[in-house]
Amino acid sequence: MTRNIHDSFAKEWMKELLGDFGEVKVEREVSGEVRTIDIVFFPDPTLRSNLIGLGLMGKILDAPCGVEAFRNTVPAWEITNCRVKLFELIQELRRQAKQKKQQLKTIDHPFLWILTPTFSDRLQQEFCVVQKPGWGEGIYFLPRHDRTAIVAVHHLPKTLDTLWLRLFGKGEVQRGAMAELLALPPTHPYRQETLKHLTILQINFKARQNKTKEIRETMMSLSVVYEQWEKERLDQGRDEGQQIGQQIGQQIGQQQERRSMALKMLQAGAMVDFVVQVTGYTAEEVRSLPVQVGGKLSSDPQQAP
Q: What is the pLDDT of residues 39-87, one digit of tens each?
A: 999 998 888 888 888 999 999 999 999 999 998 999 999 999 999 999 9
Domain shared by 114 and 202, yes or no:
no
- The verdict on residue 298 lying in a domain is no
Total tally of structural domains belonging to the chain: 2
Domain shared by 89 and 195, yes or no:
no
Q: What is the pLDDT of residues 257-300, one digit of tens each?
A: 777 777 777 777 778 887 777 677 888 887 887 765 444 434 45
Q: What is the pLDDT of residues 213-225, one digit of tens each?
A: 777 877 887 777 7
Domain shared by 99 and 226, yes or no:
no
What secondary structure does DSSP assign to the chain, as a single string?
A: -HHHHHHHHHHHHHHHHHTTTEEEEEEEEETTTTEEEEEEEEE-GGGGGGGGGGTHHHHHTTSSEEEEE-SSPPPHHHHHHHHHHHHHHHHHHHHHHHHTT----GGGS-EEEEEES---HHHHHHTT-B--TTT-TTEEEPPGGG-EEEEEGGGS-SSGGGHHHHTT--HHHHHHHHHHHHHS-TT-TTHHHHHHHHHHHHHHHHH-SS--HHHHHHHHHHHHHHHHHHHHHHHHHHHHHHHHHHHHHHHHHHHHHHHHHHHHHHHTT--HHHHHHHH---HHHHHTS-EEETTEEES-GGG--
- Domain span at residue 67? 2-169
Q: Does the pLDDT of residue 157 top 90, yes or no?
A: yes
